Amino acid sequence: MNAAIHAVSGFEVEPVAAIPASTPHAADELDDAWHHHAALASLYGEFLVLPPVPGGSKVGWVRVKDPVGKNLPSRISGVTGAPEFVAVSVDGRHLCAASVEESHYWVVVHEFKAQ
Would you write out the chain's pLDDT as a tens digit for each of its 115 residues? 456 564 565 567 789 999 999 999 999 999 999 999 999 988 878 999 999 888 888 899 999 999 888 999 999 999 999 999 999 999 989 999 999 998 999 999 999 887 5
Under a CB-based contact definition with an 8 Å cutoff, are residues 73 and 34 in contact?
Answer: yes
- Residue ranges covered by each domain of the chain: 2-111
Polymer length in residues for the chain: 115
3-state secondary structure of 21: coil
**pTM for the complete prediction?**
0.87
Question: Which of 66, 70, 68, 104 lies closest to 84, judged by CA?
Answer: 104
